[in-house]
Amino acid sequence: MKLIVRLLVGILVGLLAGLYAPDLLVRLLLTVKMALGQLISFVIPLIILFFIASGIANLKANGGRLLGRTLSIAYGSTLLAGVLAYLVASILVPALVESRPLQEVAGNSLTPFVVIEVPALFGVMSALAAAFIIGLGISVTGATNLKKVVDEGKGIIDVVLAKVIIPVLPIYIAGVFAGFGADGSVFETLKTFGIVLVLAILMHWFYISLLYILTGLRNGRSPWALIRTMLPAYVTALGTMSSAATIPVTLRQAKANGVNTEVANFSIPLFASIHLAGSTITLTTCSIAVMQMMPDMGIPGLMEMLPFIMMLGVVMIAAPGAPGGAVMSALGLLTAMLGFGEAAVALMIALYMAQDSFGTACNITCDGALSMWVDGAETTEAVQAKA
């Protein structure tokens, strides 16, 4: 929650600077924003490479049937959440967001004092391909030395995110909103900001309800009783903003809903790393809103947006436990697949961080329902095997 407060302070400082501060101060903020933006762009391919390679390499091969079933259910839920978010947002966002106030800050009359370019070591898609090859190769061959390298690389990037990028995000956001204030678009941007946040949270609650209604119908139980049991996990996630940190509570409440202990012990920790339905809802909704706001972008059709949604379910594998890990992992897709520029990326980060606790709470609450689906499938298969 402290990060959210700092981000809000950054937005306020940037807004006031853009509206009232001398051009010298605004240009200074734009210069700092430019430098931080270059750092974020440089780190994005490294996030993709090490997070995905490490995540795939650490998926244990034992219990292959249970692992495959858990992965399939998690990915299916993430994909369904993203598609539903697109269908709702593509209808409501154009109706709620009439204007297109967001401009790239580089296009303002005020510019940074200096422009520093730090090219990434490799492109986003190259990082993604390499991550799959390395991760799967480690999983198949058991290359312990290479596994140690990718795990330690992920640890280094975790530290960079937790100690450098996440703490300076408020300054980065302040620079972006200073640019918005300078070009007169800040108030429309803030209005859209609020609309999108409310829409994303309502869609989280809708998806939780839908998932538990389906689960309740399948198991012959009250969906609302199941949700009530998972409420402690939801509330815990609101405070921790981390699926990993909420695992003990999620595990306890899933067992209270009747999930077999062995299945719960396996599926809940795995879901915490690979199932991010709430994050996908937010990223899909916010990306559509940002594209609606951009003067040179339009909202793509479902078939154009579907590859982005499908890739989200992959790149967020083992997203770091630090707040905002999912959006940091997804930045490469936003730039490479949706053509987001610097201002659009900055607004996405601010939007995502502002609701991160709600997205995390949606993720882990849905984990409880998905564990019941895994348990039900395992029970059915066991009964059939005995027959």
Task: Say what the pLDDT of residue 64 is.
Answer: 56
Q: What is the pLDDT of residue 228?
A: 92
CA-closest candidate to residue 329, choices 51, 27, 142, 12: 51
For residue 286, what are its two tokens? Answer: 């916010």
For the full predicted model, state whether its pTM sits above 0.75: yes
Q: What does the pLDDT read at residue 184?
A: 61
- Residue 217 is predicted with a pLDDT of 93
3-state secondary structure of 353: helix
The torsion defined by the Cα of 97, 99, 101 and 107, in degrees rounded to 10, comes to 130
Nearest to 247 by CA among 227, 224, 264, 259: 264
- Give the architecture-level CATH label for domain 2-380: Orthogonal Bundle (1.10)
Helix, strand counts (H, E) of the chain: 15, 0
Q: Tell me, what's the pLDDT at 284? A: 93
Non-local CB neighbours of 294 within 8 Å, separated by 6+ positions: 100, 102, 344
**Tens-digit pLDDT string for the chain (387 aa):** 566 677 778 878 887 887 787 878 888 888 888 888 888 878 878 877 887 788 778 765 545 577 778 888 989 999 999 999 999 999 998 888 765 555 544 444 567 777 778 888 887 778 878 888 898 888 888 888 999 999 899 889 888 887 888 788 788 878 877 876 766 655 666 777 788 888 999 999 999 999 999 999 998 899 999 999 999 989 888 766 777 778 888 888 999 999 888 888 888 878 887 888 998 999 999 899 888 877 677 788 889 899 999 988 887 765 655 556 778 778 888 888 888 877 788 778 878 877 778 888 999 999 999 999 988 887 777 666 665
All residues at 6 or more sequence positions from 44 whose CB lies less than 8 Å from its CB, including other chains? 120, 124, 328, 331, 332, 335
CB distance 174 to 14 below 8 Å: yes
Q: What is the distance between the alpha carbons of residues 30 and 205, in angstroms, rounded to a whole number? A: 37
Give residue 298's pLDDT: 79
| CB-CB contact of 54 with 318 (8 Å) | yes
Residue 187 is predicted with a pLDDT of 63
